[in-house]
Amino acid sequence: MKVRKDNSSKETVPTRSEMDVLQILWQHGPSTVRFVHDLLNEQKEEGVQYTSTLKLMQVMAEKGMLTRDESSMKHIYSAALEERTTKGTILSRFVDSMYDGSVSNLMVALLGNDKTSKKELQVLKEMLKKLDDKA
């Protein structure tokens, strides 16, 4: 397996397009560019050119976000970033920039959102009760 320079760190914040690729690789595991490209086109309203997907994944490999196995005819790409760490970093930056680092302000905004269902509210109440019982 050939691995490009490793620039990955817990502070790496992918772009939206890079996150789309990472989400596919986290969900489906190591994949070809064709597989990722086909799934991206299923997810997006506007079509994505194969060469654009290929170039994006090559750049991500150079940045250390992906690894590339070149041992067979079809190159296989894998996520080099951990899903939990990457999403945690993005969430932390979002909370810092949008809610001045206040998780409670974020929760108030989420709970006041029309998209929050009664079922989701019940699950959150149960989670909070479990946390409260531990304290």
Q: Does the predicted TM-score (pTM) go above 0.75? A: yes
Give a three-class secondary structure readout of the chain.
CECCCCCCCCCCCCCHHHHHHHHHHHHHCCECHHHHHHHHHHHCCCCCCHHHHHHHHHHHHHHCCEEEECCCCCCEEEECCCHHHHHHHHHHHHHHHHHCCCHHHHHHHHHCCCCCCHHHHHHHHHHHHHHHHHC
pLDDT per position as a tens digit, 24-83: 999 999 999 999 999 999 988 788 899 999 999 999 999 999 999 999 889 999 999 999
pLDDT per position as a tens digit, 72-89: 889 999 999 999 999 999
